[in-house]
Structure 1
Amino acid sequence: MKKIIQNFGTIVLIFLSSFLFSQNTNSSFEIKNSSFLLNGKPFTIYSGEMHYPRVPQEYWKHRLQMMKAMGLNTVATYVFWNYHEESPGKWNFSGEKDLKKFIKTAQEVGLYVIIRPGPYVCAEWEFGGYPWWLQKNKNLEIRTDNKAFLDECEKYITQLTKQIVPLQIDHGGPIIMVQAENEFGSYVEQRKEISLEQHRKYSYKIKDMLLKHGITVPLFTSDSSFYFVGGSIKGALPTANGENNVDVLKKSVDEYHGGKGPYMVAEYYPGWLDHWAEPFVKVSTEDVVKQSEIYIKNGVSFNYYMIHGGTNFAFTSGANYDKNSDIQPDLTSYDYDAPISEAGWATPKYNALRNIFQKLNNNQLPEVSKPVKVISIPEFKITKTASLFDVIEGKKSIVNNQPVTFEDLNIGSGYILYRRIFEKDEKGKLEIKGLRDYATIYINKDFVGELNRINKKYDLDIEIKKGDQLDILVENMGRINYGSEINHNLKGIISPVKINESEISRNWQMFPLPFDEFLKHNFKTKNIPENVPVIQEAEFILDETGDTFLDTRNFGKGIVFINGKNLGRYWKVGPQQTLFVPGVWLKKGKNVIQIFEQLNSNETVKTIDHPILDQLNK
């Protein structure tokens, strides 16, 4: 009985604190006397990063409650410009993209909010958050003091601030800080051909835009401490990403903040990002606990990046650039080895951290939310399959003397099929140095090879007869989101195709395949050769719904839609071998799965009750 009364008292306390938190229109948050002051009293930020586009909206509250139950008082989120401006001038802040709803849900749970709007965000997100069509303006250069670019930034900041200004803490909302630009110091370091003065002209203008459009809460910047020289902005608190040494943190902040704090690590990494064809990275629980305790002991505010990663649904994942592989595309899963798993489960890392915060909160933390129910769907057969070549038969193509890019064809993501009929025999080395990023090659619809920017494989031996049809299916695997190579982000085939060093020009046909929605086809039964790209479809019946994991270990490479939702990319090389299927996207009764498979035709589909994210098949 005593325990029941204690639990009831805890629930009432949490309810009252959340109610008062959400109703107080006289709240304030400021930086003063080397401290964060919440309503005039010193406040330490214990934050976790979660990006609302990576989590179905039905699960936002569950994940935020998980953070609150772990002992955090704040949630940080990036805002992705290209997520909300769906096409030039077309803005969407509704449904899954309802930023206001996410912020209000955090407030309802009892969390403060930090907004990280960029305009550049990195985040392992397609093009670092920039809309792909910015590249179509030849007078525009991103992340510089460039009028064309800054004009676009102001359009974005105008739309953004309409959403967040009314939800700042001094307006009765939960937003306590807003970031100006992001990790700009590392970019300054990589682009030394531009003077520091010129770089600062740009970053200061972003700060001024935020202020002009109504941001009144404190601004901050976020960089590694050794990049403060280029990334810090006067009037914004410098915070140090990944800085484990408290003495270095304090010295760096003091140097660029007038000799005083407060001190914050805006990104402390309890996990790490992951790429296709590379091992899954793990960070030990012991290391995360130890570093968290160091921050707490020294009064350092910090933000776990990520506390909950979620999923890069559809074509939202970005890529890194590496001179050894040219591109490192990010996984569909953004699990990040975070304390809260991709599916929203409490991990051993979560439980260990919660133990620390329990002590800080006198064992008054809420109960941990139960995980969403998980189901396994028994194996079922794929009933409809069609060759991609049959699907595009009779469709209108774009014709040009040279292959053109995704941007030239006015599509951002997906695939392009490049086709050419040869007027004479050709034999030798087919070379596509401008491949961006992955291609399968066919002669008369028969598979002859694969080219791959990841492995820097840009050529193969080929033999073509007069009248033969060459097809090159090119996939955009995500635009680079970090570093100076972000300025070189065109996709498709961006330079001439050559055979034996001779350009193959004239009469190229292009078929754009953006997969904004799945391709429609009547699926007439035909014999389909091996290793040709196919679209596939099947129905399955469910008596109950729940989260599950699509087992892709027997698949090749492609994307999956379920009930019209694009789950994202799979690839047999791993390390990811499952796709997370949110239960809220399933329904009782009939469900439809659709697959675009680039490498081999699949016969059956099944799911399992757990993810496989660390199985690399080199």
Structure 2
Amino acid sequence: KPRQAMKLLSSPQLIISRFFCLCFYLTLSFAANNVTYDRRSLIIDGQRKLLISASIHYPRSVPAMWPKLVKTAKEGGVDVIETYVFWNGHELSPGNVRYYFGGRYDLVKFVKIVQQARLYLILRIGPFVAAEWNFGGVPVWLHYVPGTVFRTDNEPFKHYMQNFTTLIVNMMKQEKLFASQGGPIILAQASEALHVEVENEYGFYETAYGEGGKAYALWAAKMALSQNVGVPWIMCQQFDAPEPVINTCNSFYCDQFTPSSPNSPKIWTENWPGWFRTFGGRSPHRPPEDVAYSVARFFQKGGSVQNYYMYHGGTNFGRTSGGPFITTSYDYDAPIDEYGLARLPKWGHLKELHRAIKLCEHALLNNEPTLVSLGLLQEADIYSDGSGDCAAFIANMDDKNEKVVEFQNMSYSLPAWSVSILPDCKRVVFNTAKKNGIVSELFYGGTDTWTRMFGLTESSPEKLNVDIMQIHVGSQTSLVEMVPQDLQPPSTSTDKDLKALQWGVFVEKAGIWGKADFVKNGFVDHINTTKDTTDYLWYTTRLDLLCTT
């Protein structure tokens, strides 16, 4: 994750990143879309688009939840749904022998649900996704293919990576999901691919692989372009992405991000509205005001596409969680909680933010900004054509003090660490630090990412640890009717009904080597020993004491 955050943490638990991803931005249309871009935005059929995106991973929720999750996201002002494709959930064995796309892994069904909601979709193929997912989404069997080295200029890895990428691309083509195809969208309002991503955050690791890393990154870009999907490609955190591939930002704040090419738009693929949970750790909470501040600043500074990672985190079912001590819950303090309910006040606060930003869309995407200094840590960006089309963002970057500023002959009060949005350059319709017109007391001092994210003081014992204290802000609530359910089956129950009320027991194999135990000096590599069939290894030792009188 962000380098400045890593420096503050003594625990290795947070040194996890989402690595390798291929993404498709999919859009609904009644005909084939012409998708291009320039330095300011994506352009679809000649129209500039400002897009708010929401990550929802299909295997982290059950199919019955998908329609409601997508609906709740849309009601929250979202234009786009984003998901990874989890390689190890689909390719169960090598050589095109076993593929699985059923149940929670029914990718096409998920895409079509998004299509029916008339939303865009971002499909991130990977194939190495990390995502706090077991083995980063890579099938464990690939670890045992002779000569394989991951994520470098290695022929076995590139071979299987290209095979899976091509499989997913062809599946999308077969379902007529690319913007360049049109296909069933004319009648069925189907989703179509609008934008594609290859490689995620590889720039942080490329130098460790030397020349092999650079060669691999270039190969990945060329491989992606060779798929001929008819839409642009992007690479997350890839600072040397070759044109026409667009590099994008992943962080808590991306307002200062600049694409590597002056011809590319400013895209934020991962804005983290919270954090993952760990066993034994406290539940991280990022205040909604801080999330809103980061989004407003991004669009204030020329952003055009922003994605929340996660908007609904969901659940790590079975043994899918990966990384040090990652819990079954992948709630992520997201706007939609693990169980599919809107998390208030976060969901509602961001909904109002999205509405305010959309009021500025035309001015933002069709005019160049004028920066006006209003103080040491206060500034305004004005987007105007001089003939009436005008939008302004006024920011107070002081995280401790409220400020009153003079802007265009009017006075504006700015709470600490906030942005006010003026879609007509006069009237404030939204301030990121105010919920329902009330200013929330967010911060207790400090200027680093984790202080802002979790409300920690400089003296907090958790300051340098993943065990972040949880704070609650705001007063927005939701009324939920609780309906009791009789757990005793009625007299008309079938055997299936009775079975649903019974506990299930899973008996794990004692070992995979034909015997339950073996002797070894020191600890063993877990994956090589278990071949990823179990999370558990039991160690026993013996201590002989020589007693003398």
Alignment equivalent of 1:280, drawn from 273, 280, 283: 283
Q: Which ranges in structure 1 are unaligned for 5 or more consecutive residues?
A: 1-20, 320-327, 364-368, 416-437, 443-459, 465-618
* TM-superposed deviation, 1:292: 2.0
Alignment match, 1:302: 306
Which TM-score applies when normalising by structure 2?
0.61
Q: Distance in 1 between matches of 2:484 and 2:212?
A: 55
Matched residue type, 1:281:
P
Alignment equivalent of 1:413, drawn from 525, 533, 536: 533
Alignment match, 2:204: 186
User: Is this contact kept in 2: 1:136–1:407, CA < 8 A?
Assistant: no
- Given the alignment of the two structures, is residue 206 of structure 1 paired with residue 202 of structure 2, yes or no? no
Alignment match, 1:397: 515
- Given the alignment of the two structures, is residue 239 of structure 1 paired with residue 248 of structure 2, yes or no? yes
Alignment equivalent of 1:218, drawn from 232, 236, 242: 232
Alignment match, 1:350: 347
- Given the alignment of the two structures, is residue 123 of structure 1 paired with residue 131 of structure 2, yes or no? yes
Alignment equivalent of 2:195, drawn from 157, 177, 180: 177
Alignment equivalent of 2:326, drawn from 318, 323, 330: 330
Q: Alpha carbons of 1:174 and 1:182: their partners in 2 closer, same or farther (altered >3 Å)?
A: same
Matched ranges for 1:515-554 at <5 A: none
Alignment match, 2:81: 75
Q: Alpha carbons of 1:162 and 1:384: their partners in 2 closer, same or farther (altered >3 Å)?
A: closer
* TM-superposed deviation, 1:388: 7.0
Q: Alpha carbons of 1:27 and 1:370: their partners in 2 closer, same or farther (altered >3 Å)?
A: farther
CA shift digits 1:84-143 (9 cap, x unpaired): 112223111233222111111111101111121112111111111111111112311000
Q: Alpha carbons of 1:75 and 1:377: their partners in 2 closer, same or farther (altered >3 Å)?
A: same
Q: Distance in 2 between matches of 1:61 and 1:126?
A: 26
Alignment match, 1:366: none
Q: Distance in 2 between matches of 1:30 and 1:370?
A: 45
CA shift digits 1:54-112 (9 cap, x unpaired): 11111111101111111111111111111111222311123322211111111110111
Q: Distance in 1 between matches of 2:111 and 2:34?
A: 17
Q: Distance in 1 between matches of 2:481 and 2:130?
A: 30
Q: Alpha carbons of 1:462 and 1:377: their partners in 2 closer, same or farther (altered >3 Å)?
A: farther
Q: Alpha carbons of 1:384 and 1:168: their partners in 2 closer, same or farther (altered >3 Å)?
A: closer
Q: Distance in 1 between matches of 2:480 and 2:58?
A: 18
* TM-superposed deviation, 1:461: 6.1
User: Is this contact kept in 2: 1:71–1:361, CA < 8 A?
Assistant: no
Matched residue type, 1:139:
G
Greater CA drift, 402-411 or 27-36: 402-411
Q: Distance in 2 between matches of 1:29 and 1:372?
A: 45
Alignment match, 1:49: 55
**Structure 1 consecutive aligned stretches of length 4 or more whose deviation exceeds 3 Å:** 296-299, 358-363, 369-380, 382-389, 395-411, 438-442, 460-464
Q: Distance in 2 between matches of 1:377 and 1:180?
A: 50
User: Is this contact kept in 1: 2:39–2:266, CA < 8 A?
Assistant: no
Which TM-score applies when normalising by structure 1?
0.55
Q: Which ranges in structure 2 are unaligned for 5 or more consecutive residues?
A: 1-26, 183-190, 360-428, 430-477, 490-500
* TM-superposed deviation, 1:161: 1.1
Q: Distance in 1 between matches of 2:505 and 2:543?
A: 26
Alignment equivalent of 2:91, drawn from 68, 85, 93: 85
* TM-superposed deviation, 1:310: 0.5
Q: Alpha carbons of 1:236 and 1:372: their partners in 2 closer, same or farther (altered >3 Å)?
A: farther
CA shift digits 1:216-252 (9 cap, x unpaired): 21100112xxx624xx343211111116252x21xx3
Matched residue type, 2:201:
E
Q: Distance in 2 between matches of 1:340 and 1:299?
A: 27
CA shift digits 1:322-343 (9 cap, x unpaired): xxxxxx2211100000010000
User: Is this contact kept in 2: 1:161–1:214, CA < 8 A?
Assistant: no
- Given the alignment of the two structures, is residue 167 of structure 1 paired with residue 192 of structure 2, yes or no? no
User: Is this contact kept in 1: 2:313–2:330, CA < 8 A?
Assistant: yes
Q: Alpha carbons of 1:215 and 1:441: their partners in 2 closer, same or farther (altered >3 Å)?
A: same
Aligned length: 375
User: Is this contact kept in 1: 2:88–2:138, CA < 8 A?
Assistant: yes
* TM-superposed deviation, 1:375: 6.2
Q: Distance in 1 between matches of 2:506 and 2:275?
A: 38
Q: Alpha carbons of 1:361 and 1:174: their partners in 2 closer, same or farther (altered >3 Å)?
A: same
Q: Distance in 1 between matches of 2:75 and 2:518?
A: 58
Matched residue type, 1:171:
Q
Alignment match, 1:135: 143
Root mean square deviation, CA, Å: 3.6
Q: Distance in 2 between matches of 1:439 and 1:410?
A: 8
Identity across aligned pairs (percent)? 29
Q: Alpha carbons of 1:405 and 1:122: their partners in 2 closer, same or farther (altered >3 Å)?
A: closer
